[in-house]
Every structure is written in C-alpha cells, then in structure tokens.
Amino acid sequence: MKIMRPLGAVGVVASAALVLAACGSDPAASNSGTTSGAPAATGTAQVDCGGKSPLSGEGSTAQNNAIEIFKQQYGKKCSGQQVNYTASGSGAGVKQFNGGQVDFGGTDSPATAADLEGATKRCASPAWNIPMVVGPVAVGYHLSGVDKLTLTPTVIAKIFNGGIKNWNDPAIKAVKGNESLNLPDKPIQVVSRSDESGTTDNFQKYLGAAAKDVWTQGAGKKFNGGVGNGAQGSNGVASTVKGADGAITYVEGAFAKDGVTPALIDSGSGGVALTSENVAKALDAAKFLNEGSNDLALDLKAIYASNVPGAYPLLLTTYELVCSKYSSADVSKAVKAFLTVSATDGQQPLSAKGYVPIPQGLQEKVLTAVKAIS
C-alpha cells in the first residue's frame, strides 16, 4: 500500500516533506485489502470530546513517543481530557487490558487468537486491533570505526542465534559493501529484550520469513535466540548497546541514534538504509489478515520475505487493542475521541520522532473502525 514520504527518516535522513492531516468526520471505508495509490488526506478531525478522564492505557514501548504526541494533540483538541499510558511492553499491555486494568492496550504485533479470546471475554464483545503507528525496526550496533555496515537476513539470523560470534567473521566481511571494512577481532555482544515484546515478535517473524533455513527458533514475544543478554524495554536495549563497544540489538528505528547505528539490510538487491522512503516502498505489499473486518491486523509476512529493490523490509505496526463495545459509555466516548485524534491530528508530528504516518487508505479504515466502537 502507498504510504506518504514524510520528513524525518531515521538513520539516513530522507528528504521528503509531506504532511498527513485528518480526514472528515465520516470517511468511507476502502473496499480494498491494501491502500495502494491512496493520496494524502486533508482537513482536521471532528471529535466528540468528553467521557472518562484520565483514560488509561499500557503496553508497547515502541509507540511510547508516538503516544506522547497523541496525548498532546488530544489535550489540544479536547481541553482538559487526559490519558495515562504506561510503557511496560506489549505482553504486559495485553495482559493488563485483558484483565480489565486499562482502557486500551498497546502492542507491537496483532494480538494472538488466544489474546483476542481473553480480550473478548473482558469486553463481552469482539476486541479489535487498531493500527496507529508504523515504525521501522533497526538492527542497531555499536562498533568503533564502523559507521556503515550491511547485513543480510541470513547473517542477522546467525548473529542472533549464536552462529556468528565475532565481528571479523568471514560471513560478515563477505556481504557486499563490507569488503573494505576493518572489522575487529571482537566478540559480538547480542542484546535482546528481556521483557515480552511485540518488537521481539516482529523481529523473529522477520527472521523466520527472510532467513527461514537459518532461523528455526520460531517467533513470539520472548526472545528465542538463546545468546547474549537481555534488557528491559526499547530504552534499555538502546542504552545497553550505546555503552558496549561490539554490541548489537534489534530496536525500533526511533531509538537507533546517538551511538546506536542502524545497519543496512541486503535482501538480495543490495544494502538498503533505514529511511521513511524505503519503509514506504516495503509497505506497498501489505495486506490485512481479516478482510472486511474492523479488526485491522496487517499481514506483514509478505513484506518480511520480499526482495523489492530499495525497500527496507524490517518494520512493525503498533496497535491499540480495544473493545468493540465497552460496558461504560464514558470509557467508550473517551477511547473514540482519543483514537480519532491519534489517527488524524496526531499523525503529522510522528515523522520527527522516526515513525512513518499512516496512509490515507489505512486512515479511512481506522476511522471507520473507531466510529463503530460503542
């Protein structure tokens, strides 16, 4: 699906300056499984403010910076309305939502069938995944003297399952673009998420699709590589890598800065830098898992396994897990207002934080789903 090319790419900066604003109050849902060719929307959100304040949410650390933007825009649009969000990881967010402890959960990958079953019990109605933030995942490293490293999916998989242990391993040197690098005889320090994380789940799904002959550890929110050390949250893994020469991790693109360098990924057509432009190229292949439903989980498997020239394939979409029908009208009203602002006024500022604003076609589907919440 087509996505806008905003200013503010992560790692290597893309020169683009498109703005995503809001559509009207009653957008028509797209009938296509993709959002190919969708232009930028115009206008500002019309929001029915009110309801519970503060609204409560918990989960994904990957979207925490985006949530802060959404909260600010929500406060501007709906004076006095507040949201408390705890960035504790996707696993905790789903558990807290299913336990009725928060009004919405944040997760970096669609809630599993088991999770949705638990959410449906909590809601006494179907629960929906509402995509709100698109972000690239960096294979971020800290290696003195090496500021441009290219890795293939196979090499990445071998690093994270312990098959490649040293930076001067011939397999790394052999990747096109690395021939002239002075790679040190230094152990690779793998840093993974110690908490349950949708980022981990997406990263392992990517390896399973792009390097299926090497990565046999499966997916899931717990890291299965069996090597290295863990750190809590996105800030935790980024801080650990910054402080350890020779370290490598997987982390949301917004955290790959100030000492954490994102590697280029070569899926077979040459190294591709992590930029919003290149993420947009990868998103052209995205489809939905449940066509015709307001549960808007995206099927990213085709993207992960693709070899589109110039496309950066390692990305995630964060979701807000919500009830289609809340037992409290005050909660329902506030959730709808917050998500409406997030999907419209809240999107433009995201590019400055390393995210990629959602395209109009997906935005229309999101607003249709939000409007259907009762």
DSSP H or E segment with residue 226? none
DSSP state of 320: E
Whole-model pTM: value is 0.74
- Where residue 340 falls among pLDDT bands split at 50, 70, 90? very high
What is the average pLDDT across 63-75?
Answer: 96
Q: Which positions make up the binding site for phosphate?
A: 60-62, 90, 108, 197-199
- What single string gives the DSSP state of each residue in 289-349? SSTTSS---EE-HHHHT---TT----EEEEEEEEESS-S-HHHHHHHHHHHHHHHTTTTGG
Q: Which positions make up the binding site?
A: 60-62, 90, 108, 197-199
pLDDT at position 44 over 80: no
Output the CA torsion sign for 360, 365, 368, 371.
negative
Mean pLDDT of all residues belonging to the chain: 87
Residue 38 has a pLDDT of: 35
What is the average pLDDT across 118-130?
Answer: 97
- Where residue 11 falls among pLDDT bands split at 50, 70, 90? very low
pLDDT at position 91 over 70: yes
Residue 352 has a pLDDT of: 85
pLDDT at position 251 over 90: yes
- Where residue 62 falls among pLDDT bands split at 50, 70, 90? confident
pLDDT at position 117 over 60: yes
- Residues 6+ away with beta carbon under 8 Å from 292: none
pLDDT at position 323 over 90: yes
pLDDT at position 37 over 90: no
Superfamily of domain 137-277: Periplasmic binding protein-like II (3.40.190.10)
pLDDT at position 294 over 80: yes
More confident residue, 146 or 22: 146
Both tokens assigned to 7: 């200013």
- Where residue 32 falls among pLDDT bands split at 50, 70, 90? very low
pLDDT at position 283 over 90: no
Residue 360 has a pLDDT of: 79
Q: Report d(CA 53, CA 224) in Å as an integer.
A: 39
Residue 190 has a pLDDT of: 98
- Where residue 29 falls among pLDDT bands split at 50, 70, 90? very low
DSSP state of 356: B
pLDDT at position 14 over 90: no
- Where residue 358 falls among pLDDT bands split at 50, 70, 90? confident
User: Distance between alpha carbon 68 and the CA centroid of its chain, in Å?
Assistant: 15
- Residues 6+ away with beta carbon under 8 Å from 151: 139, 159, 172, 175, 263, 264, 265, 266
- Residues 6+ away with beta carbon under 8 Å from 220: 200, 201, 204
More confident residue, 75 or 5: 75
Percent of the chain's residues with pLDDT above 70: 88
* Identity of the amino acid at 76: K
Residue 285 has a pLDDT of: 65
Both tokens assigned to 125: 């109605």
- Where residue 362 falls among pLDDT bands split at 50, 70, 90? confident
- The answer to whether 314 touches 137, Cβ cutoff 8 Å, is yes
What is the average pLDDT across 76-100?
Answer: 96
What is the average pLDDT across 263-267?
Answer: 98
Residue 34 has a pLDDT of: 32
Percent of the chain's residues with pLDDT above 90: 72
Q: pLDDT of 144-176, one tens digit each? A: 999 999 999 999 999 999 999 999 999 999 999
DSSP state of 134: E
Q: pLDDT of 161-217, one tens digit each? A: 999 999 999 999 999 999 999 999 999 999 999 998 889 999 999 999 999 999 999
What is the average pLDDT across 347-362?
Answer: 84
More confident residue, 22 or 223: 223
Both tokens assigned to 145: 């003297």
